[in-house]
Amino acid sequence: MYLPIVGAVGQHSPEDVPNVYKQRGTWAIDTVRLIVWRGLRGMNLRQKAQFLELLFFYLSSFTVLVYVPTLCLALLGWAPLDSSAMGFLTRMLPIVVATEAWLLVLNQPYNDRRRRQRQKYRALWRVRTMWVGLAPVFMKASLQAIINGPNKKPAYKVTRKTHVHAWHWRQTLPQTTIVLTVIAVAIYAARFRTLPDPILLVGTVYWGGLNVVLLSSFVTRSWHGFARAGEGLAPVAPDAEPQTARTS
């Protein structure tokens, strides 16, 4: 629907982790509440599919609770599947190739003539880092939306319009804990030789290990707005911020 009014004004985009949590968490809880409690009545099949895709996107964050523990168990010798190496490879490889190809095509800009600005592989990696890194936020928002019911919406707070230059380690503590736990289990597995068949391990590492790498990449985002000065760390000067982040 076209609205003949100015509905949005250019402002600051969230960049530090707490502010990103605030914005994305609000989007998640409102989306889940809308679809779960309002329903999809009056929509055709295609419209319902699009709204359900939004819901499943946020609910897919719970898969981290499956993939990462499965990886730890596989490192300790308990593979998640009972299969021969060749049988596992012939079934796993097509899924991996299809998934990666689908994500690459999905992230490909449509009708974009700026070929030199695409950087599709780097852009896809950044998107996947956000997907996995924000999994704790999406899980919390989904549970809040469902548990609070249709009539109890959390109080809305406007997203902060300034950046906080700091090491936001508390906000990334869940992601850091997962990464350190997997590293500790991997060291234990290497020391006591509990690793399963290499082929079975590779498949588990793809699902679980990829999540761990993406979580590690997200943790590095917690160090926001600092640059190295000699051997220490110093905050970035305001003049060093990109011009696109300012508003007149």
User: Cβ neighbours of residue 247 under 8 Å, at least 6 residues apart?
Assistant: 10, 11, 12
Say if 184 falls within a structural domain.
yes
The reply to whether 119 falls in a domain is: yes
Burial tier of 150 (Cβ tally within 10 Å: 0-12, 13-18, 19+): exposed
The mean pLDDT of the chain is 83
- Single-letter code of the amino acid located at 60: S
User: Is residue 233 situated within a structural domain?
Assistant: no
Report the domain count for the chain.
1
- Assigned domain for 242 exists: no
Mark out the alpha helices in 134-232 (DSSP H runs).
Answer: 135-147, 173-192, 198-204, 210-219
Reply yes or no on whether the pLDDT at 181 is more than 90.
yes
240 versus 124: the higher-pLDDT residue is 124
Q: Residue 1: is its pLDDT beyond 70?
A: no
Please state the rounded mean pLDDT for residues 108-134: 77
37 domain-assigned: yes
pLDDT the model gives residue 13 = 81
Band the pLDDT of 90: cuts 50, 70, 90.
Answer: confident
Query: Is 52 within the bounds of a domain?
Result: yes
Query: Given this model, what pLDDT does residue 116 score?
Result: 56
Q: In the 8-state DSSP scheme, what is residue 81?
A: S
Query: What is the value of pTM for the model shown?
Result: 0.81
In a domain, 244, yes or no: no
Q: Is the pLDDT assigned to residue 228 strictly greater than 60?
A: no
pLDDT at position 53 is 93
Element of type H or E holding 232: strand 232-235
In a domain, 11, yes or no: no
Residue 38 pLDDT exceeds 80: yes
User: What domain range is 75 assigned to?
Assistant: 17-158+167-224
